[in-house]
Amino acid sequence: MIDVIKARWFQKYRTIKYPMAPPPPLPERFRGVPVVQTQRCQKECDACIQACPVQALERMPGRSCIVTDLGRCIFCGACQDACPSQAIFFDRDHRMSTDKRGDLLVSQERQLPLARGMSDAIHRVLGRSLKLRQVSAGGCNACEADVNVLNTLAWDLGRFGIQFVASPRHADGMLITGPVTRNMASALQATYDAIPTPKIVIATGACAISGGLFRGHDACLDGVHGIPVDLFIPGCPPHPLTILDGLLRLIHRLPADEPADRDPQGGF
Amino acid sequence: MNNKMRVTSNLSAVERRQIPRHDMETFRRIVAEALSAGQRVVSFFGCKTGDAGTTELLMVLADDANSTVGLLSTVVNGSRFESMTPACPQLHLFEREIFEQFSLRPEGHPWLKPVRYPHGDMPAGTGDFYRVEGEAVHEVAVGPVHAGIIEPGHFRFQCHGEEVFHLEIALGYQYRGIEEALGNGANPRGVHLAETIAGDTSIGHSMAYCQTLEALAGREAPVKAQVIRAILLELERLANHTGDLGALSGDIAFLPTASFNGRIRGDFLNMTALLCGNRFGRGAVRPGGVGCDLEYARAKSLQKALAQGMADVRNAVELLFDTPSVLARFEHTGTVPASVASAFGAVGPAARASGVAQDIRTDHPSGFFRFAQIPMMTCDTGDVYARAYVRWLEIQQSVRFIEEVACDLPDGILRTELGPLRPDHVAVSMVEGWRGQLTHVAITDAEGRICRRKVTDPSFHNWSLLAYALRNQQISDFPLCNKSFNLSYCGHDL
Ligand code: SF4
């Protein structure tokens, strides 16, 4: 017993103060949202579009502007490496979650509209206590691991009233990871059906949002379809801070009026 | 060189026509002889041939004592061949896989079922399960969706009261078609897909993937890149072993170490992110080298973080192993004797915990491990305690290794251009990931395009050990035994 107390003393108090204080620093080489600054582009070179392994970049029809689909992006940096004129910047902002799939399309002309979270009616019911069931439907265990991290003492998700539970019957919603393999489709649907309404669905990671790297594979269904999604958290995998930010926005624990400006010059 | 098999070493590409092709009878005899002489099956898989109705079966054997790898093949005409599993149990899952992928029936296989249910005609988890009949015998079915934040799989227990007589593990829910996507020419998603074969082994699998390409191109990554790869591989081991020790103590409700290690695991992941920006090492290993530099200042920060991480984990883990109630739960639980481990072809810490001395970094070193050795750690009791303790020993070795090399990096470039792949070659790449030996075998066609890639995650070798470990255990010990292996579902299902 005395050893446990000594160890506890040695390990100190490590739960982060966020959101009451600034979040822990992101890695210096963290890749946030990529934006193509087309004024720097060589005329229509398209090198980034071709380099992207998941076809996340697209030129707007008839325009020079290039749109990034954060729902597909795996934040690999291949576009930046391929760019001959250093026109692509990754910002260093962990905030990326949105309410709608379409909101994940960003460009130099369109900033990311961050999630506003539950409707007030739902918030009255679930806002102070949200129990989630996690289903991995082909997830590679990276998204799962960084969701799990939120349950460690460093992040202590429980302090926000959010908890992962062992049965869909105890849940108010579901957090889905993975591209939804054919072999998991029915188990995913059954889990969804077993959750009492009203229910919240969160698609976490490029796979769940769009199929990610497995988009187009016969074995997968290109992410969540046929189940209404309330929150999209992009990333491959998303940083724990990105996931936490999304969850906190969902339950209105972050000020909705904070400045949404992102720093385009950040990154490396 | 002998006429039984083409003997080569880890990471070298050989011409396909130099691989001896035997008739089935001779093939079986050579394999049986090699296995009884102590070799292991690294991989066994089918390949299409030019002729419809025939399939080539290729086997990769490892001779750990001599640091060599042997390749041999046979061709099956028609739709059946005689199973080798009854004599060589370590082939049982490989033969089931061949059955599923090539519709070749291994006659006499004791438990022939699909592995991943890839065709959609039969949902995963269906089919017959082994059943024990009798009074007071009951069946417990768990999954595919599990209680925690964890991947899906199905477990079917045959129990007598609390005691488990038999456990059958049915997987395939995570099947994403990775092997097919990587085995068909140059896929622009290639290295990214390799990083997601098992997300917790991004470094291990992307290393194995890149090394096959390098071997096929006849190039090596620059020395500096090899050192950075080795550091990343050990960081991956540190994060996962630390997490596993925490999870093990969570499963026996010893909460101090469970809480401490959950956090410290994150600290190790952040060290990987210090190098490459991503906690799982995405973007770190690239064909021909690495995608991130480790400059002197960064190496200094890494060393500092590592020293802190090690102090924390030492404190947390020593507390774990000094607590008698922990030892009472770990010892004699889920025992796998050495004979069983080697019969099933066990790999990694699970094998070493049963006293099977085998580690790719020592036996078949590649990259920087040819110059800097990490001593192999073993235990001999084969129980949960041994699997936990081997991890702790390996944590200490990995920290020592990184401390020694991180600030002493050679100068030079980070990546070399690969150039074209040599046509009609086969390359075998084995890497000691944190779960154990992971293998990629890549084959090129006459144009130098990849025409087949076989990926074998350590979990593919080890899932049967978990089933064995549960025999005559209390069913309530399943989570503990399961965590002591902590196998990958997606790495198995691909
Ligand atoms: S970071 Fe990678 S996935 Fe994202 S847009 Fe750039 S190339 Fe595509």
Residue A22's pLDDT band (boundaries 50, 70, 90)?
A: confident
Domain membership flag for residue A214: yes
CA-based nearest residue to B114, from B55, B172, B50, B188: B172
Report the SS3 class of residue B88.
Answer: coil
Q: pLDDT digits over B298-343, tens only?
A: 898 999 999 999 999 999 999 899 889 989 999 999 899 999 999 9
DSSP-assigned letter for residue B5: S
A112 lines ligand 1 (CB under 6 A): no
Mean pLDDT on B272-292: 91
How many other CB atoms sit within 10 Å of the CB of residue A85?
11
Continuous segment of H or E residues that includes residue B266: helix B255-276
Q: pLDDT digits over B102-119, tens only?
A: 888 888 888 888 888 887
The pLDDT value given to residue A44:
72
Mean pLDDT on A238-267: 76
Asked if residue B123 has pLDDT above 80, the reply is no
Q: Specify the residue with its C-alpha closest to ligand 1, atom 3.
A: A73
Instruction: Give start-end residues of each CATH 1.10.645.10 domain in chain B.
Output: 181-481
Q: pLDDT digits over A195-235, tens only?
A: 998 899 999 999 999 999 999 988 889 999 889 999 999 99
Q: Is the peptide bond before A198 cis (omega within 30 degrees of 0)?
A: yes
Flag the least confident range among A39-53, A65-79, A88-102, B308-322. A39-53
Ligand 1 center from residue A81 Cα (angstroms): 10
Asked if residue A8 has pLDDT above 90, the reply is no
The pLDDT value given to residue A266:
42
Tell me the residue type at A190.
A
Domain membership flag for residue A74: no
pTM for this model (two decimals): 0.91
Nearest to B192 among A4, A31, A74 (CB): A74
Domain membership flag for residue A140: yes
Which residue out of A50, A55, A67, A68 has the highest number of ligand 1 atoms within 8 Å of its CB and is therefore the one to mutate?
A: A68
Domain that holds residue A239: 120-250
Sequence-distant (6+) residues with CB within 8 A of A185 are A137, A221
- B332: region left, alpha or beta (phi > 0 left; psi from -120 to 50 alpha): left
CA-based nearest residue to B473, from B101, B266, B166, B252: B166
How many other CB atoms sit within 10 Å of the CB of residue A156?
13
Residue A84's pLDDT band (boundaries 50, 70, 90)?
A: confident
How many distinct structural domains can be found in chain A? Answer: 1
Mean pLDDT on B256-276: 91
- Better pLDDT: A64 or A56: A56
Domain membership flag for residue A155: yes
Q: Give the torsion through C-alpha atoms of A11, A12, A16, A22, to 10 deg.
A: -120
- Better pLDDT: A22 or A244: A244
Beta carbons of A11 and B172 less than 8 Å apart: no
Distances (CA, A) of A126 to A85, A232, B241: 48, 18, 37
Tell me the residue type at B422.
R
Q: pLDDT digits over A104-142, tens only?
A: 998 887 888 888 888 888 888 888 889 999 999 998 999
- Alpha-carbon gap, residue B292 to B415, rounded angstroms: 10
Beta carbons of B256 and A164 less than 8 Å apart: no
Chain A residues whose CB is inside 8 A of the B186 CB are none
Instruction: Give start-end residues of each CATH 3.30.460.80 domain in chain B.
Output: 6-107
The pLDDT value given to residue A267:
35
The pLDDT value given to residue B124:
77
CATH number of B6-107: 3.30.460.80
A89 touches chain B (CB under 8 A): no
Chain A 20-59, residues with CB within 8 Å of chain B CB atoms: 27-31, 53-54
DSSP-assigned letter for residue B184: S
Instruction: For residue A139, give the CATH number of its domain.
Output: 3.40.50.12280
Flag the least confident range among A6-10, A60-64, B477-481. A60-64
The pLDDT value given to residue A33:
87
The pLDDT value given to residue B210:
94
A184 touches chain B (CB under 8 A): yes
Residue the block writes with tokens 């596993």: B244
Mean pLDDT on B259-267: 90
* Strands of the sheet with A105-106, listed across from one edge: A57-59, A66-69, A105-106
The pLDDT value given to residue A13:
83
B414 touches chain A (CB under 8 A): no
Residue B247's pLDDT band (boundaries 50, 70, 90)?
A: very high
Structure-token pair, residue A153? 């003492």
B479 touches chain A (CB under 8 A): no
Residue B346's pLDDT band (boundaries 50, 70, 90)?
A: very high
Flag the least confident range among A109-123, B110-124, B280-294, B358-372. B110-124
CATH number of B181-481: 1.10.645.10
Q: pLDDT digits over A168-183, tens only?
A: 899 999 999 999 998 8
Asked if residue B1 has pLDDT above 90, the reply is no
The pLDDT value given to residue A268:
31
